[in-house]
Amino acid sequence: MYKNITTKETVLSGLLLATGIILPMIFHIFGMTGPVFLPMHIPVLLGGMLLSPVLALILGIITPISSSIFTGMPVLFPMAIIMAFELGTYGLVSSLAVRKFKLNTFTSLLIAMVSGRIAAGLSVELLIKLFGINMNPLIYIKGAIITGIPGLIIQLIFIPSMVYAIDRYCSKSYQC
């Protein structure tokens, strides 16, 4: 069923996109690297919980590409391309899990995280086939998971907490 995109969703998408560009810059200013703390993933996963699947997918795809164009982080090829697949999957899967399958935030988050990493591995495989880049998809995924453990922990704590706080605020204020 087609649902019109509301102004509120459009504004929230823009806010989350801006956050996805600015938050990694803040982390880098304080010497915390993106591959460890995964700051760009936070607004996309939050968007997956709050936006329609289409907007969440779009947010996930354009955030790393926009960040690469405006800040140089991540490098456009191949990292921003790989991240576009990964974050797009995060947004789409988490939104579908919450909205269509009515799963709780934590379960939706876990499913999205696994799906996104699989999408990243498949995108690496695609880039190998199309452009002959010198990467191994399994080693890439293993390295990304091990390096990103602090960021994964942050996501598992922060995202459900933020969604709970937003839901609670909205249920009390009727403004959401």
Provide mean pLDDT across the span 112-124. 98
pLDDT tens, position by position, 126-166: 999 999 999 999 999 999 999 999 999 999 999 999 999 99
pLDDT tens per residue across span 13-39: 999 999 999 999 999 999 888 899 999
Cα–Cα distance measured from residue 169 to residue 176, given in angstroms and rounded to the nearest whole number: 8
CB contact set of 156 (below 8 Å; sequence gap of 6+): 106, 109, 110
Domain coordinates in residue numbering, the chain: 37-167
pLDDT value, residue 2: 54
pLDDT score recorded for residue 1: 45
Judged against a pLDDT cut of 90, whether residue 172 lies above it is answered with no
CA distances from 129 to 83, 91, 99, 137, 151 (A): 17, 26, 35, 12, 30
Q: Which residues of 60-82 are buried (b: 16+ CB within 10 A; e: fewer)?
A: bbbbbbbbbeeeebbeeebebbb
Quote the pTM value.
0.95
